[in-house]
Chain A
């Protein structure tokens, strides 16, 4: 019997993918980071209003390695990274598979602006060493990776592209719609864009900006309208974190999501965590961007439908 043609023709993409992951790993090892592996199945993921974990024998498959990696930070591991699979129920589309590959890294005594610079270095290094160079063609656009990349606040992005202010969008419960329909397509058009300083309600695990409690120190990285990474200056105050988790849990329940328990040990140990910044980057999407392909299906060996 002949082999599976759909799999055979992914050979080039899967080779490139492996190379990219190898270069990511090299970048962090050279930068003095420790590679860690945390359990994929955990008793309590961080409750987030719009992320639904997959249940696994009474526990959950993690939606990101955040909880365990922060416990490592609290125990004195001050530069760590992980490349692992994560699961999120119901997320399927051109840019989504419910089981995807995440790169997550944490750095003590740094804030989100330090991570922006590190993101620039990482993507440039990986693109260069994997043979893609500093100029990409993606979705019909020419993207120049040479730093510094564009930086724009969420507030300015709403003013420039949203047709309404950030406050109006929040008040009218249109924040996500305006973001998806009007703002995202404008981000990262000629070079990558960091959009930063989100409303406090949009960063359940992020530190609030000093002197500006309505704003969370959070950024997202976009290339040609595609969201690639999300980062915070991490919240390290356990009392505040508990209040935020309870608020997220209540919101989850009001939206009809099944309840999930609070991560107790994480909350206990959080006070020992140094000031730090952390970031999650979608590896499948980075591969998509470098290879200039249109669906995530083209860069993973198997989609759920192919199993």
Chain B
């Protein structure tokens, strides 16, 4: 059980049966009044943010969350399937829950899956993922437009800006935290 004294950014609590993460927190005390703890809480399943104010003495149930290393298998309709390589247990996640991570999911990629109760609610990717460029215009020698980047489409369908010298079919390293090109895969 947490008390208001445990409140801080990043704390994960259960509220009305759903897991929430504290995204903002402020101690306040109106003149001669009681101590109040103002929080912003984000529902970790729906993404909806709530403003809640708590008084001293109030308590919170910790969110029972577990992170498990899993492998991405495949996508079917709007569901993504992952497998625990130790237990061979499989979980499915909706496209909404996968979120932007879908731009970097390639078969057999190892990721961390956040589990709440029985439900997979989030994916944490490695910071860097190698992905193949499936379409990009060739670099025209003598191009004088002065542009220092061009669009490229990756095998996941994700489009990003890459340096002009990247060619179709090449592997590049993408920083999944920013979604930006990092370097060429050496090899």
Contacts and interface: CB of A to CB of B under 8 A. Distances in A.
Interface of A: 48-51, 90-96, 175-177, 179-181, 184, 202-204, 220, 227, 230, 256
Contacts of A48: 32
Interface residues of B, number: 16
Nearest to A231: B31
Given A93-B26, A256-B57, A180 B38 contact: yes
Contacts, number: 53
B33 interface: yes
A94 B33 contact: no
B36 A177 contact: yes
Given A49-B34, A176-B30, A230-B31, 16 more contacts: A50-B29, A91-B27, A93-B26, A94-B27, A95-B27, A95-B28, A96-B27, A175-B33, A176-B34, A177-B53, A181-B38, A181-B53, A202-B32, A202-B33, A220-B31, A230-B32
A180 B28 contact: yes
A280 B33 CA distance: 15
A179 B35 contact: no
Interface string B17-31: 000000000111111
B27 A227 contact: no
Nearest to A184: B30
A90 B35 contact: yes
Secondary structure class of chain B's binding surface, majority of residues: loop
Contacts of A176: 30, 33-34, 36
12 contacts: A49-B34, A90-B56, A91-B27, A175-B33, A177-B36, A177-B53, A180-B28, A184-B30, A203-B32, A204-B32, A227-B30, A230-B31
Contacts of A230: 31-32
B38 A50 contact: no
Nearest to B36: A180
